Amino acid sequence: MLSEHNRQVLTNLAQDSIQYGLGHHRPLEVELNDYPPELTDTKASFVTLKIKNNLRGCIGTLEAHRPLVVDVSHNAFAAAFKDPRFAPVNEQEFTQLQYHISVLTIPEPMTVVDEEDLYSQLQPGKDGIVLSDGHYRSTFLPSVWESLTTPQSFIQQLKLKAGLDAHHWSDSIRFERYKVEEF
């Protein structure tokens, strides 16, 4: 668990990276020596932006491959300016942004025999899920359970997000589970 201070540091960093991006069209570069080791460990994160509690952008990484502060800086910039579902954030919107950061655990493969088995293993509100089948891939953070409250609706929408049919099932479909620390 991150301390409240370090959570605020990451939230401020996300905001600073977007503000920097407005003028420079790239994420804020991070000097690792300016941060405590807890924030420079290699971790994966998602940055979700909202305005008046409506989604305004969400980008993240599933595999930890860079220091957490770098990941948050780059994901905040990408959520604001590179999410294909939205136009880039502008100066007026910047002042209205609400920041939500999720720090992910390492995704762990799930062993499932069929869809009912998958449903029985899911922990609504706790599990983030990665779906993979060939070149199709998608994820939902645990916070998505707030709007997709049943395992069936959660998985069906996850399939649609990946570009698959809502009732798709195959021998090659794979699921991974992860947890998040969200703030």
Structure tokens at 98: 């609400």
Host H or E run for residue 64:
none
Q: Say whether both 157 and 121 belong to one domain.
A: yes
Residue 20's pLDDT is what? Answer: 98
In-domain check, residue 70: yes
Residue 105's pLDDT is what? Answer: 96
C-beta atoms surrounding 43 within 10 Å: 21
Name the residue range of residue 100's domain: 4-104
Q: Say whether both 99 and 10 belong to one domain.
A: yes
CA 104 to chain centroid: 8
* DSSP letter assigned to residue 1: -
The CATH number for 86's domain is 3.30.700.20
In angstroms, rounded to a whole number, what is the distance separating the alpha carbons of residues 18 and 77? 5
Q: Is the sign of the CA dihedral 149, 155, 156, 159 positive or negative? A: positive
Q: Are 99 and 10 a contacting pair, CB within 8 Å?
A: no
Tens digits of per-residue pLDDT, 46-68?
Answer: 999 999 999 999 999 999 999 99
Q: Of 83, 104, 125, which residue is a domain's last?
A: 104
Instruction: Name the stretches of the chain with pLDDT < 50.
Output: none
Q: What is the DSSP string of 22-86?
A: HHHSSPPP--GGGS-HHHHSB-EEEEEEEETTEEEEEEE-SS--SBHHHHHHHHHHHHHHT-TTS
Q: Say whether both 140 and 87 belong to one domain.
A: no
Q: Say whether both 12 and 97 belong to one domain.
A: yes
Residue 169's pLDDT is what? Answer: 97
